[in-house]
Amino acid sequence: GAVVSQHPSRVICKSGTSVKIECRSLDFQATTMFWYRQFPKQSLMLMATSNEGSKATYEQGVEKDKFLINHASLTLSTLTVTSAHPEDSSFYICSASSVGALRETQYFGPGTRLLVL
């Protein structure tokens, strides 16, 4: 149980294009999903928290117009990197938790490697 998938696992795109990453909870309903970014040899940094049916809450320093998050259903959240640039190249990981209560555990997806040329 508690499986989270991400698609694609790897994407290469040209500078200036937009890329969409999907995060799905496969066997539970995720009222809250989280998007993280991980630079090489660094820890995970929370980018934003999204609750189903409402606007995402972005962490300080994260451009909400550049990183569009949609959480349209209880099993799917998407992150769209708009007008991607080489500095957006990174490993993006989503996680999901149910109910959204304090003690709910976050289950992580396998990550998406983005390379912007």
Partner 1 sequence: AQSVTQPDIHITVSEGASLELRCNYSYGATPYLFWYVQSPGQGLQLLLKYFSGDTLVQGIKGFEAEFKRSQSSFNLRKPSVHWSDAAEYFCAVQYGNKLVFGAGTILRVKS
Q: Say which amino acid occupies 56.
A: A
Q: Does 100 bind partner 1 (CB under 8 A)?
A: yes
Question: Looking at 13-21, 62-70, 78-86, 89-97, which segment touches partner 1 (CB under 8 A)?
Answer: 89-97
The pattern of x and - marking residues 31 through 70 that bind partner 1 according to CB under 8 A reads: -x-x-------xxx-x--x---------------------
Q: Does 110 bind partner 1 (CB under 8 A)?
A: yes
Q: Does 97 bind partner 1 (CB under 8 A)?
A: yes
DSSP string for 20-87? EEEEEESSS--SEEEEEEE-TTS-EEEEEEEETTS--EEPTT--TTTEEEEEEETTEEEEEE-S--GG
C-beta of residue 7 within 8 angstroms of C-beta of residue 21: yes
Binding site for partner 1 (CB under 8 A): 4, 6, 32, 34, 42-44, 46, 49, 91, 93, 95, 97, 100-111, 113
